[in-house]
A and B are shown apart, each in its own frame.
Chain A
Amino acid sequence: QLQLQESGPGLVKPSETLSLTCTVSGGSISSSSYYWDWIRQPPGKGLEWIGSIYYGGNTYYNPSLKSRVTMSVDTSKNQFSLKLSSVTAADTAVYYCARQYSSSSGTPFDYWGQGTLVTVSS
């Protein structure tokens, strides 16, 4: 059974960089059928897609965050990562990593990590 697990600091200071890693187990991150994504949810609010990365390194970012986002993949560790720079209180959210299945029928997020709360505060 595929599992995704987010890890990283739960508290980040304003203006600093948020860094999270998602470890994939029970399957290979190097499959050609999948993209690997970050999605966030501010407390009590809805879901926002941050970006996607393919195992080959191709990335797709939400334009609203693009200037501050960097995603990377480490196939040797079966991990992918998120860096969000110059954070503010508005970046406080539960951050989820997810697998995005790519097919002619669409590209749903079919597996999710449990999520990790990141609070931006001094």
Chain B
Amino acid sequence: DIQMTQSPSSLSAFVGDRVTITCRASQSISRYLNWYQQKPGKAPKLLIYAASSLQSGVPSRFSGSGSGTDFTLTIGSLQPEDFATYYCQQSFTTPYTFGQGTKLEI
């Protein structure tokens, strides 16, 4: 299985901050990397697919980059509604695997 490792596991920030979350794959996954946002008691929501493509309806302050094994999710200017847990996920090969999550807190 491809292991996905996110860092940090948790992050404290303020409204207006620029935040970056990192995801590393245990082997090359080209650009088959997706990012999700999950709020308590809710299903995950797709933010970014194919490493850098913004899902329809997602604010432009979210951006993704990377290829191969190293990827980043950047939130340009944190808004109150962005405080949540973020997961990366590889769709390069089955079994599809997720990172352990990054909890973004105030």
A contact residues vs B (CB 8 Å cutoff): 46-49, 52, 60, 62-64, 96, 98, 100-101, 105-110, 112-115
- Is the pair A110, B91 in contact by a Cβ cutoff of 8 Å? no
- Is the pair B50, A47 in contact by a Cβ cutoff of 8 Å? no
- Is the pair A109, B98 in contact by a Cβ cutoff of 8 Å? no
- Beyond A47-B44, A113-B43, whether A108 also contacts B34 by CB under 8 A is yes
B contact residues vs A (CB 8 Å cutoff): 1, 31-34, 36, 42-46, 49-50, 53, 55, 87, 89, 91, 94-101
- Is the pair A110, B46 in contact by a Cβ cutoff of 8 Å? yes
- Is the pair A109, B32 in contact by a Cβ cutoff of 8 Å? no
- Is the pair A107, B91 in contact by a Cβ cutoff of 8 Å? yes
- Is the pair B94, A46 in contact by a Cβ cutoff of 8 Å? no
- Is the pair B44, A112 in contact by a Cβ cutoff of 8 Å? yes
